[in-house]
Amino acid sequence: MEEAIFIQQDNTKPHINVNDGEFHEVASRGRLNIQLVCQPPNSPDLNVLDLGFLRAIQTLQHREAPSTIGELVHSVEKAFWEYPPTLINRVFLTLQSCMLKVMENNGRINYRLPHMSKGSLERSGNIPILLPCPSGLLDKANAFLQE
């Protein structure tokens, strides 16, 4: 089986339970390991949609001015596929930065949103696709969770 793909949901009612049998049956048919997880409650800093992706997709979708559900679905799908991968990378880097800050602050989200000068890093060809987690920070977070 391949590396896991995690689908993160917020905790709203329309989403399915992470242990939904029908979802797991369908998700296990292919060679992919797809798992559902819920974001921690009250944590918009850990929701990639809240960090920028959803707003950007909505902006692209609103340019279409759909008037039916079918047009809306088409518009959202079109916006998704038109969204530049470089911007998706920026959003996921922000998410990773937030995760590191949450770990540094023992789960609290009272920190300044980290800035990396992603545009400058992109222009110089030095933008990462992932941020390393220092082993000391991981050890600290694990120790905090064990308390």
Q: Could you tell me the sign of the dihedral formed by the alpha carbons of 122, 57, 55, 24, in that order?
A: negative
Q: What ranges do the domains of the chain cover?
A: 1-38, 43-146
- The amino acid present at 31, given as its one-letter code, is R
Of residues 30 and 126, more confidence is placed in: 126
Of residues 44 and 57, more confidence is placed in: 57
pLDDT at 137: 95
Question: Locate tokens 């399915």: which residue?
Answer: 16
Task: Tokens for 52, please give them.
Answer: 């920028």
Question: Mean of the pLDDT values across residues 92-117?
Answer: 87
* Angle, vertex CA 9, rays to CA 66 and CA 14, nearest 5: 60
For the chain, percent of residues with pLDDT exceeding 90? 20
pLDDT at 40: 66
Predicted structure pTM score = 0.65
Where residue 52 falls (left for φ over 0; alpha for ψ -120 to 50; beta otherwise) is left
